[in-house]
Structure 1
């Protein structure tokens, strides 16, 4: 599965590391890609990981999430 999260607060390359390392440690997550210039976080994961949990993780790291879309 793939989940895209949109946020407005990605401003620098250090944001990328913070999100990739924080979300990437989650069991069931296979890849995390952050495009700070597009304010987009893409997470590839299995079906044990819920989109709401990913949203909460990103928000706990300090980045408000505006929208979440999950694709099979």
Structure 2
């Protein structure tokens, strides 16, 4: 089942941070349509719930050294 995830990050300080996060998240199995919103410090992504989880994606971002404030998930109909 495809779900949409929105992750609120701590403040992003540079455009290259945006690219680093986008690349790392999009390389995860089952993830599509990754978009990092620099000014809003948010990551939006669609993912297959059978292949990955919000917790895995949150850890990927945290392992890059970025702070995750909140994670919201909703099902795509």
Distance 2:35 2:45 in 1: 6
Q: Which has the larger radius of gyration?
A: 2
TM-score in terms of structure 1 length? 0.92
Give ranges in structure 2 of 5+ residues lacking alignment.
none
Distance 1:21 1:11 in 2: 17
User: Which of residues 53, 67, 72 in structure 2 aligns to 1:69?
Assistant: 72
State which drifts further: 6-15 or 25-34: 6-15
User: Which of residues 18, 31, 34 in structure 2 aligns to 1:32?
Assistant: 34
Distance 1:32 1:11 in 2: 19
Distance 2:42 2:27 in 1: 19
What is the number of residues matched between the two proteins?
72
For 2:48, the equivalent position in structure 1 comes to 46
Tell me which stretches of 4 or more aligned residues in structure 1 moved more than 4 Å.
Answer: none
SS at match of 2:70: strand
Give ranges in structure 1 of 5+ residues lacking alignment.
none
